[in-house]
Chains A and B, each alone.
Chain A
Amino acid sequence: MDFTLLLQQLLNGLSIGSVYAIFALGYTLIFSILGIINFAHGALFTLGAYFTYALMGERFGFNGLLANVALPVQLPFSIALILGSVLVGLVGVAIERIAFRPLRRRRADPLLTVVSSLGVALVIVNAIQYLVGSESYNFPVNTYGNLPVAINFGTADKPITIRTVQIVIFAVSVAIMGILTYCINYTKFGKAMKAVAEDPITANLLGIPTDFFIVITFFISSFLGGVAGTLVGSSVSIADPYFGIRYGLKGLAVIVLGGLGSIPGAVLGGLVIGLVEAFVPADYSAYKDAFAFGILFIMLLVRPQGLLGRRFVQKV
């Protein structure tokens, strides 16, 4: 393996991994506060892409209830991205109200929240399909303005190329990781959140509005899901309403590998799995997903708290 090829594979791995990382950030945030896995995250990811697409004034296709409809607004990509993700955040808050809070109030078995969130995912995905059909959509060509589509780190003769959009995704996921880590560890707000995560009842007695913090967590997690969905959609198009769900299982592998509930762990886990997939020899590329899940399985047996997770009392 010569040096150019090695570098290229390394970049390939980071490029694949950054998508997993950005997906996993919002996923793991909910776990860190509530100790539950929100299987609807994949559906929110999809929703983000569709909302942004709609806010840019793009037209929907000819299947579904809203055939050939376009919103009368035409926002630029960046603003549509933020607005669309805020909308996804609000949907997340609604989901918390409808599907999670009643169960939490009753101290129901956490397994029930898994089922409930799966039900929510089913509703969202099929509602999208019912409204706008299942055809593919894509953002306009000039989404990223004048940035080149790909950057060559090598020479013309020995190219080491990576697409710009992947660099954007990588940078955004690292930035989100930094901001979240800082907020949770060094601000008053974050400390309160941590208290809620440790022991909601005591936190409540200490005067921390538990429900409010849980709603905020859901909002942030869903907002991040929306951002991630839009960015990934701009990289690989919005294939169909199921497009976010497909990352769900891989995302699970990522957050377990990194450590459930660990924010840096989500990014590290994503990059590690991306690198593993990139370095699977071409002859065995069919088995690359099996490698990812194999690592997950072994990791669970050897070190269930993941690479960066801490041992914590089982809530589940």
Chain B
Amino acid sequence: MKKSTFLGSALLLAFASLLSACNQTNSGPNATTTANPSAGAVSSNSIPIGIALAQTSNVALLGQEGIQGAKIAEKYFNDKGGINGTPIRLVVQDTGGEEAGAINAFQTLITQNQVVGIVGPTLSQQAFSAGPIAERAKVPVIGASNTAKGVPEIGDYVARVSAPVAIVAPNSIKAALKINPKIEKVAVFYAQNDAFSKSETETFQQTVKDQKLDLVTVQKFQTTDTDFQTQATNAINAKPDLIVISGLAADGGNLVRQLRELGYKGIIIGGNGFNTSNIFAVCKALCDGVLVAQAYSPEHPNEVNKVFRTTYVNQYKKEPPQFSAQAFTAVQVYVEALKALDQKSKVTAMPLPQLRTELNKQILAGKYDTPLGEIAFTPVGDVIQNDFYVAQLKVDKDGNNGKFAFLK
């Protein structure tokens, strides 16, 4: 007994000393230099950009997709000469799925890794928590997957490239009417514990009314639900010709599958949550024909998207998902803003606080030709995007190969 308590206190001591010891090291494993905190200037070897996305917890999948896109961007722009000769360097910190994790990741990036700006976090709720931290430290943040209302309004330093896709909801309903002009009755489903789905469904329901269609039933579910027997049979009993779903990939995919298995034959529209190849694993062949509104199309014809798409397909053997494209775009915005800034005065010679502030101004001022198409920012930092798409899911009979086919 005595021995173990001694061990315990020794452990505690070791623990306390670890924290302070760890503070001595201040650069990532792939760093070539140590930052110089006293002057706060970026070292001339590479310019660090922070990536704060989820690598653990149950939102890891979204974070992982984002990190893939950012990594492709890092290589692509460094091969093209970086910032007028100085390469960029991504510093990735895991946010997990919690607010505190996002704040810690932001803190580490801002003070320890001395980044010029941050891409992230994964969830809108994390943005509300970590955004103010960056705002107070005067560090620019570009959200690459935050779609909730109010994210750009967090502060002057917070912007996003992820369009609140509620704007595009009408497109997919119009596309459905093009496929079947006889649609009259519409059933709407939404995940009511998901902030984004809730706001998206309001847009969908408004569009249904605007198109003079008959909204026969609104069914709610939770993103954690797996059994939609009740909601599905309730909706099918109302005999709809069109079903619109706002949810995430796992629950939305399950819902599609169960609707089809229970005998629904009409058109199904999915919201932005369906924008991931993950959906194919969930509903396999039964996904076939689902319409999804998109903020990104792999087939966008500009140069940068062609390179991005080929690189992604070569590496991961599938089409790039929207979250990867948005993260790539966020890194691209940083690179181009830094370049523009560098032409005015050398960024590697600027003190870090000044660089961050100037960079933030430059980001909002610029126009960018990205995989998402032409984008710019409103003064508050929300994205202005011209191109939105509607895709139809195409899956072969045995359900193993799925892709998004874009409707013209």
Whether the complex brings A and B within 8 Å at their CB atoms is answered yes
Residue ID in chain A nearest B218 by CB atoms: A282
Partner of B233, one of A8, A135, A141, A241: A8
Taken together as a complex, chains A and B put the C-alpha atoms of A154 and B285 apart, in Å, by: 26
Within B164-219, which residues are at the interface with A (CB < 8 Å)? 192-193, 217, 219
Chain B 231-273 against A: per-residue CB contact (8 Å), 1 yes, 0 no?
A: 1011011000000000001110110011001110000000000
Asked whether, in the complex, the Cβ of B230 is within 8 Å of the Cβ of A150, the reply is: no
Min distance, Cβ B18 to any Cβ of chain A, angstroms = 21
Chain A residues in contact with chain B, CB under 8 A? Answer: 5, 8-9, 11-12, 15-16, 19, 62-63, 68, 126, 129, 133-138, 140-141, 149-150, 152, 159, 161-163, 166, 232, 235-237, 239-243, 246, 277-278, 282, 285-286, 289
B118: CB under 8 A from chain A? no
16 CB-based A-B contacts, threshold 8 Å: A8-B233, A9-B230, A12-B229, A15-B227, A15-B229, A136-B253, A137-B281, A141-B284, A141-B285, A141-B398, A141-B399, A159-B263, A163-B261, A277-B230, A282-B220, A289-B222
Q: How many A-B residue pairs have CB under 8 A?
A: 114
Are B61 and A240 within 8 A (Cβ)? Answer: yes
Given known A8-B233, A9-B230, contact A126–B56 (CB-CB < 8 A): yes
Q: How large is the interface on B (under 10, 10 to 19, 20 to 34, 35 or more residues)?
A: 35 or more
Contact: B58 with A242, CB < 8 Å?
yes
A130 to chain B, nearest CB (A): 9
Q: Is B250 a contact of A286 with CB atoms below 8 Å?
A: no
Contacts of A239 in B (CB 8 A): 226, 250-251, 254, 282
Q: Which residues of B contact A140 (CB under 8 A)?
A: 398-399
B residues adjacent to A (C-beta < 8 A): 56, 58, 60-61, 64, 192-193, 217, 219-222, 224, 226-227, 229-231, 233-234, 236-237, 249-251, 253-254, 257-258, 261-263, 278, 281-285, 316-318, 398-399
Decide: B237 and A163 in contact? CB cutoff 8 A: no
What residues on B are CB-neighbors of A137 within 8 Å? 281
Q: Whose C-beta in chain B lies nearest to the C-beta of A68?
A: B317
- Give every chain B residue within 8 A of A166 (Cβ-Cβ): 229
Given the known A-B contacts A15-B227, A150-B263, A285-B220, are A136 and B233 also in contact in the complex, defined by CB atoms under 8 Å? no
Q: Is the CB of B230 within 8 A of A237?
A: no
What's the Cα separation between A240 and B219 when bound, in Å?
A: 24
**Per a CB cutoff under 8 Å, which of A68, A138, A152, A236 touches B226?**
A236
13 additional A-B residue pairs with CB within 8 Å, beyond A161-B233, A237-B281, A246-B224: A8-B233, A8-B237, A15-B227, A16-B227, A133-B64, A134-B61, A138-B284, A140-B398, A141-B399, A239-B250, A246-B226, A282-B217, A285-B231
The dominant DSSP class at the B interface is helix
A237 to B256, CA, bound (A): 12
Contact yes or no, B56 A237, CB < 8 A:
no
Shortest beta-carbon distance from A13 to chain B in Å: 8
Residues of A within 8 A of B281 (CB): 135-138, 237
The interface residues of chain B lying within 8 Å CB-to-CB of A278 are 229-230
Given contacts A161-B263, A239-B250, A282-B234, contact A134 B64 (CB under 8 A): yes
Nearest-neighbour CB distance to chain A for B355, whole angstroms, equals: 34
CB nearest neighbor in B for A163: B261
* Closest chain B residue to A19, Cβ basis: B227
For residue A17, which residue of chain B has the nearest CB?
B227
Residues of A contacting B192 with CB < 8 Å? 286
Q: Are B221 and A285 in contact (CB under 8 A)?
A: yes
Task: Please report the C-alpha to C-alpha distance between residue A229 and residue B282 in the assembled complex, in whole angstroms.
Answer: 15
- In contact, B229 and A62 (Cβ under 8 angstroms): no
Scoring B227, B263, B281 by chain A CB atoms within 10 A of each residue's CB, the highest score goes to B227
**Min CB–CB distance A19 → chain B (angstroms):** 6
Q: With a CB–CB cut-off of 8 A, which chain A residues contact B262?
A: 150, 161, 163
